[in-house]
Chain A
Amino acid sequence: MIRLINISKEYKNGVKALSNINLSIKKGEFVFLVGPSGAGKSTLIKLILKEEEPTGGKIFLNDKEITKVRNRRIPHIRRGVGTVFQDFRLLPNKTVYENVSFAMEIIGAPPKEINRRVPDVLSMVGLSEKAYCYPSELSGGEHQRVAISRAIVNNPPVLIADEPTGNLDPDTSWDIMDVLLDINRRGTTVLMATHAKEIVDIMKKRVIAIEAGKIVRDEQRGVYEHEVSNI
């Protein structure tokens, strides 16, 4: 589903964000991407979203190589990846329903399909009753659920979440994790960058740890960090 071969990225100012990254994520996996701030998590996500070009290596997404593509193709690549951010990024002057339907409108979906699909997605994240509220009337967790609805409304095979629980309290964070797990169970591949140690440790999913631009650990049923072993 997502495959990076020998990826490196050096920014124009000389900062080496990533070097020799090799990773492969299969369809339907749930993967945590962990590491300290500045380790390269965001750069990795930007490469997959085609916000940045790698300086070396190859990227495959949904079985297609996307290392070098024309600018015209980028929007179509992004339609295959739902994205959720720490800061939600909702439109304040649109209702919950409109925030979600907007994602379908821009790709020209038929109104019939929009009218069917948006309530479906909203009920999936438990927001059916708030469909006509504005973002200012919602709590932080509800904001993020709207953002998740928007990310998955067009049925992308991959969902990327960049610290989706970063702005939420622990209880709400677990609600969001339940939603993400639910989405993953329905077949969507989920890649989540996070600092939430507790969540990673309890979920026992695949963990990829990055430090200083390199993958230092990649294990199934992993934890946030290895405990320092007692001698």
Chain B
Amino acid sequence: MSMKFRIFKNIFKQGFQGMWRNRGMGLASVTSITAVLIILGLVLVMILSINNVVTEAKNKFDEIQIFLEDDISTEELNKIEDTIKENEEVLSVVYQSKNQALDIMKEDWKEDAYLLEGLEENPLPNSFIVKVKDIEYSDLIVDKVSGLKGIEDIVYYQDIIQKLVLFAKYIRLGGLIIIGILVAISVFIISNTIKITVSARKNEINIMKYVGATNGYIRGPFIIEGVLFGLMGAILSVLIVNYGYEYFFNAVNDRLYVLFTVYLVPPTSLVKDISIIFTSIGMGIGALGSLVSLKRFLNV
């Protein structure tokens, strides 16, 4: 056994001892870390789901529908189509006749479609359905087309999408701020817990210093104690978030709110990420808390 290894072993032993002696306050620390991480988990699930919704929405609503007047001339029709196609940002242009539009409507309405049978004349207009590379380009295309003759109306969803993107951004920001505050609180609680061990061992630390113990040797056990509390909090919260979310997800799915669950992150893809994130944050909080409480002691 080398000297370094023996020293390392001593530090570990003392770290575990400290954790055990301090188990009352330790419970408070573990609980606070667990709570922070669970909230972090909720925020994460929320952010990921909203991201999903935004991406889905972007894909679904990336079209511009240009409705045409009924008495449009072929020339005007060609002019409009050419103007649209000139743009690089356009992926495709599809002409939808009023009859096709009615068929689609009948399909959508399903059993209520008989209501449409009674119509003497098809009230729906002909239209172009334009797909753009990104919803953000739609203004550009609308600007170019809107001056042309023969257009009745132009419908697109840029506003909604933009609001959605903005909303997602705020959620993300808000979530991060909440997590930041909670992490700070946890660091504070941990540092207080460690301070109890430190002051219980104040004499020992002083003697250690006089006999020539390095700062690392003195700090080591406390950092290990803090990290162990953090690790326990992480394990607990991974279990709670993982099983809790799985339960929630299945419950929602079982009641056939499939519409809703397609936007939720599937639990299976969450476990690995959450384990990694929670473990590192939990241990980080523990180590940081110990360092904070030790700072005062290290300068003698």
Contacts and interface: CB of A to CB of B under 8 A. Distances in A.
Interface of A: 49, 51, 71-72, 75-79, 83, 89, 91, 102-103, 105-111, 150, 154
B87 interface: no
Given A108-B4, A108-B7, A71 B215 contact: yes
Interface of B: 1, 3-4, 6-7, 10, 203-204, 206-215, 217, 300
A91 B212 contact: no
Given A106-B10, A108-B6, A110-B6, A78 B1 contact: no
Nearest to B298: A71
8 contacts: A49-B210, A77-B212, A78-B211, A83-B210, A91-B203, A103-B211, A106-B7, A106-B217
Contact of B300 (A51, A89, A105, A110): A51
Given A89-B206, A91-B204, A110-B1, A75 B212 contact: yes
Contacts of A79: 211-212
Contacts, number: 55
Nearest to A91: B204
Given A106-B217, A108-B3, A110-B6, A150 B211 contact: yes
A75 B300 contact: no
Given A78-B211, A106-B211, 17 more contacts: A75-B215, A76-B212, A89-B207, A102-B207, A102-B211, A103-B211, A105-B6, A106-B7, A106-B213, A107-B212, A108-B3, A108-B4, A108-B7, A111-B6, A150-B207, A154-B211, A154-B212
Nearest to A73: B214
Contacts of B4: 108
Nearest to B300: A51
B6 A78 contact: no
Contacts of B208: 106
B1 A75 contact: no
Contacts of A103: 211
A9 to B, nearest CB: 16
A109 B207 CA distance: 17
B219 to A, nearest CB: 12
Interface centre among B208, B209, B214 (most CB of A within 10 A): B214
